[in-house]
Structure 1
């Protein structure tokens, strides 16, 4: 039986509430758990939902740790070393060190994605008695453009070796302390790194961490399109998906979403609003996009500036900003936050694809990425930052025909998984 269980359900269907109820039962059964959430703001919500002093959160600089955060294991020695069994009192620990000490004490923990992703592969041994509850997927890899010349230097100076069969990179000079390749040494020593396409190193989150947990629960939606799903396939890790019935949800959402269909859309170009397409726009055509977006907000949706939101790729934010919506920018990869839930009208000026290096990396390992399911998942996560998350009517402008079709197909139920009957077992191969 797989020890990884995915709770795959649409946003707003109660995944977090159900997880809190499971955590309450784990407390009664004296089972240890770690809850990982995307945002600091969610930590208080989780802690306030559980009995006081039953769960702990690593503290940042300046946080006093009063009340429910109190514990006395927040120090390391004067050299910065962590002694998991010591109660020494020389200096304040960073959050990762606190996290590890809490694990060593078998405390229940709530923390963030960013801290979780800083774990090292040697940390796995602390988690064998824990249940991991991961709220939303993490990105398990990062592509670094090192450059062919620097990789040549690293190899010729005997700082690294590259396995000819697996392409794994090992940093072999333990005494190297210069700044030039300090970061390369760090990522190689803390996780698994692969050489790719002459110019790139690919950092991969240590699979030892996931394997180290007694059980893993993942709360997300459209998991099969995520990079975490592909990562598990790459390592031949089985997982079980538990689906919810989506049909009733989709019917109500379809009534609430007003998706613009009109002449301002780019119906003929599937690649419109991709990074390359936007980058190649001249000033005249950039102005055309801005004018169209302004028109949609003002004349079609007829909403006020504070009610409007838009997104595009970070590099083009200023180029595609316009009157009546500039201040409502929401990052294109936003998820799990509710600070934009007052937005009535939203414009998605993007077209999402995996970067070529990520596609190539997985393809070399026999895993084919599904751009469409991933793009749909990213789009839905962004859309659900607006007032639709509270089941209120909302307007959408998605000028790219591919992204708009993905959304409309989803609303028609064409992406509903075979989990309607809660089958949902998927073996990753």
Structure 2
């Protein structure tokens, strides 16, 4: 069992993925499992190396759908080098773990994943209280939830019972909420594990591995670019912008930065859009939408008039963006398509600046899709998930570094833009609606 994590920790854009591709090609006889977040990156790795990716298909011989999970099991058993996604990786089972350990796979994780997932799609705190009061579930001292209800199958709690049976369902500390933890065997069965990211110690994954007894050492075999020149480029090319009409509304209350009385945290959006009066809801939505429009025009007019509306990307909590991904099938292939205005009551109206493609989720990482964007408007004051904070505090005696977590997501978001190209003269213009997020960003840039 391996408890050492090799970490390649360097600034986004320092060609970590390219270094991993070189490493894979230099070791053709070594079985490697390369895990990343996006299909485009999987395709890239497979096109430039001998890695293959799992596929799904209908097997006419057994009249059964052959899933990607089925396929990756067969590929691993045959010792092939594989490139696959975070989503498939976290669903590996004991059979796959055994094969990984037996064959001696090396794991390369391109960007961190979230190891603790809040189970909210179907089950909430009311469900927890009902099940606990009825004696159907009980949380151990470690927080692990045990199921003791011999309920018939096809009940409303089938999925929850299945989570319990994996031994990976936990209580969220002092909160009556469910958390699902990814299997720790994802990280201790491979002969070597390498994580490629930036500011690893500020991630949820670092905390998860730390409390599970892992040790961390620098990765030396996979090479990335020297960051000294890149840091200088960042200081010269990330411009923190100001808009007088918005800036003057900023105040500080109870130690937290606010703008016009709003903190722009998730709870702020929730309070004003979901739980607030209709008049307050519309006022808040109009305020955020108007800031987006005012700021982007201000940046073009006062910072760089060579830019256009197609240069903009913005973010806020996805739940209130009105944007959702749906799957569409065409000629036997399944495509993911963005749609807008899923729920108009919850939606911050899209700025009159571009297509919905200009919305980039605040936690987006590991993609080059937005590398043409130069005007970056950030409208989310990011804090740690309260359920995850409570879990670590109660069961692991560990406090999450809120500022480090917020900075990590902010840096990764900014580096989706053209700053990642490191091209002289190509500046990016960043406006943070939250004064706290602006302060965190400025502190980081000054420290480079």
Length-normalised TM-score, structure 2: 0.79
Between 1:282-291 and 1:248-257, the stretch displaced more is 282-291
Cα distance in 1, alignment partners of residues 250 and 269 from structure 2: 16
Equivalent position to 2:161, from 176, 185, 191: 185
Which aligned pairs between 1:13-412 and structure 2 lie closer than 5 A?
Answer: 13-27=14-28, 30-50=29-49, 54-61=50-57, 89-121=62-94, 123-128=96-101, 129-145=104-120, 146-147=123-124, 150-151=127-128, 154=131, 160-163=137-140, 165-171=141-147, 176-196=152-172, 197=174, 199-242=176-219, 246-263=227-244, 264-265=246-247, 267-269=250-252, 270-271=257-258, 272-281=263-272, 282=280, 283-302=282-301, 303-317=307-321, 318-319=347-348, 321-325=350-354, 327=356, 328-364=358-394, 365-391=396-422, 392-412=426-446
TM superposition shift of 1:409: 1.3
Length-normalised TM-score, structure 1: 0.82
TM superposition shift of 1:412: 1.3
Cα distance in 2, alignment partners of residues 372 and 115 from structure 1: 30
Tell me, yes or no, if the aligned pair for 1:310 and 1:325 is still in contact at 8 Å. no
Q: Size of the alignment, in residue pairs?
A: 385
Tell me, yes or no, if the aligned pair for 1:147 and 1:198 is still in contact at 8 Å. no
SS in 1 for 2:34: strand
Tell me, yes or no, if the aligned pair for 1:2 and 1:240 is still in contact at 8 Å. no
- 1:191–1:337 Cα change, 3 Å: farther
SS in 2 for 1:133: strand
Superposed CA offset, 1:131-190 (max 9, x none): 010000010011225445533554577754432x22212335688422311111222233
- 1:198–1:300 Cα change, 3 Å: closer
Tell me, yes or no, if the aligned pair for 1:308 and 1:346 is still in contact at 8 Å. yes
RMSD (CA atoms): 2.6
SS in 2 for 1:412: helix
Cα distance in 1, alignment partners of residues 251 and 403 from structure 2: 18
Superposed CA offset, 1:237-283 (max 9, x none): 11224598644322111211221034223542425221223344534
TM superposition shift of 1:90: 4.2
SS in 2 for 1:323: coil
Cα distance in 1, alignment partners of residues 138 and 320 from structure 2: 38
Tell me, yes or no, if the aligned pair for 1:142 and 1:203 is still in contact at 8 Å. yes
Superposed CA offset, 1:272-307 (max 9, x none): 221223344534454344333312211332442222
- 1:135–1:299 Cα change, 3 Å: same
Superposed CA offset, 1:361-414 (max 9, x none): 01121222111111111011111111111122211111211111111111112x
TM superposition shift of 1:61: 4.6
Tell me, yes or no, if the aligned pair for 2:52 and 2:83 is still in contact at 8 Å. yes
TM superposition shift of 1:121: 4.8
- 1:360–1:339 Cα change, 3 Å: same
Cα distance in 2, alignment partners of residues 90 and 104 from structure 1: 23
Tell me, yes or no, if the aligned pair for 1:34 and 1:133 is still in contact at 8 Å. yes
Cα distance in 2, alignment partners of residues 148 and 300 from structure 1: 44
Between 1:344-353 and 1:272-281, the stretch displaced more is 272-281
Cα distance in 2, alignment partners of residues 172 and 131 from structure 1: 39
Unmatched segments (≥5 aa) in structure 1: 63-74, 79-87, 417-429
TM superposition shift of 1:227: 0.3
Cα distance in 2, alignment partners of residues 260 and 16 from structure 1: 31
